[in-house]
Amino acid sequence: MNMPLARPLLVLAAVLALAGCEQLGTKEKPQPVAPQITEEVLRKHAQDSLAAGVKEYDAADYAKAESDLNEALAHGLLPKTDQSHARKLLAFIYCTSNREAQCRDEFRKAFEIDPDFSLTPAEDGHPIWGPVYRDVRTQLITEREAATTVGKQPTLTKAQQMLSDGMVKYDAGEYSAARRLLEAAITEGFADKANQVKAMKYIAFTDCLERRYKDCRAQFIKIYDVDPNFDLTPAEAGNPYWTHTFAGAKATAKRQLAEKAAKEARAAKDQSAKDKKATSPAAASVPQK
């Protein structure tokens, strides 16, 4: 065989042999078996994630607790009591990290899962999430009562409807939209003082929640012009977003009311003295020029 021709043939034969060996090795290599993810596996994973989340919450490792609690709820395979417990802890985490809208959402979901859901007295009295929990509970009770009396309620006025829509936006955490609706309701005008005060109060809340503390304080003070006896409930007054702002506004409003009352009393006394002097016998006997 011609040597220059034989060498390329030998190289080609070696390459083909090597390729054949690689293909043979590939065919003979066993393929890994894909794990079978059953409902039972997911259920076990959910329980493990819940247990881990509870342990991390108790250890104040809230970032990991949030992740594991959400993981436990991911497939909806926990019993209802465990679901509501996980939702409760998530609500606590969200409220303490200034995520009130998410906190409200988790409390609402806990009630939807278990209509008898409730906090312990100690949990209910917590200054951060206690007011949010009670507000959500009150709203749900109102919604349920309204659902059972459909067709029995009188038609709302335009201002009342705006107030109602504003409260829905407020509860959803859409504070700017809530404020616009509440202001429009006041402009439209209420027939009763209670609804006007309610609208003004929640405008103040939205201002404080959006850190417009000067506006929040001014709005609280305005309320006392409508209702001098206005006050927040203990739960509302204890909200960390506006507790100090409201306390200062209340003190200012009460001082202004006292000063106004004293001024009016002095004016009434002066007027009474003038009237008395004008009708006295001595004044009547003075000859007119």
pLDDT tens-digit map of 228-259 = 999 988 778 888 889 899 999 999 999 998 99
Q: Give the residues of the chain that fall short of pLDDT 70.
A: 1-37, 147-154, 280-289
| Domains, the chain, with CATH or none | 44-146 (1.25.40.10), 158-268 (1.25.40.10)
β strands within the chain, DSSP E: none
Q: Measuring CA to CA, which residue among 15, 74, 18, 5 is closest to residue 46?
A: 74
pLDDT tens-digit map of 112-152 = 888 888 888 888 889 999 899 988 888 888 777 776 665 55
pLDDT (0 to 100) of residue 253: 92
pLDDT (0 to 100) of residue 213: 94
**Backbone phi, psi, residue 157, to 5°:** -70, 170
Q: Which residues contact 245 (CB under 8 A, 6 or more apart)?
A: 208, 213, 216, 217, 220
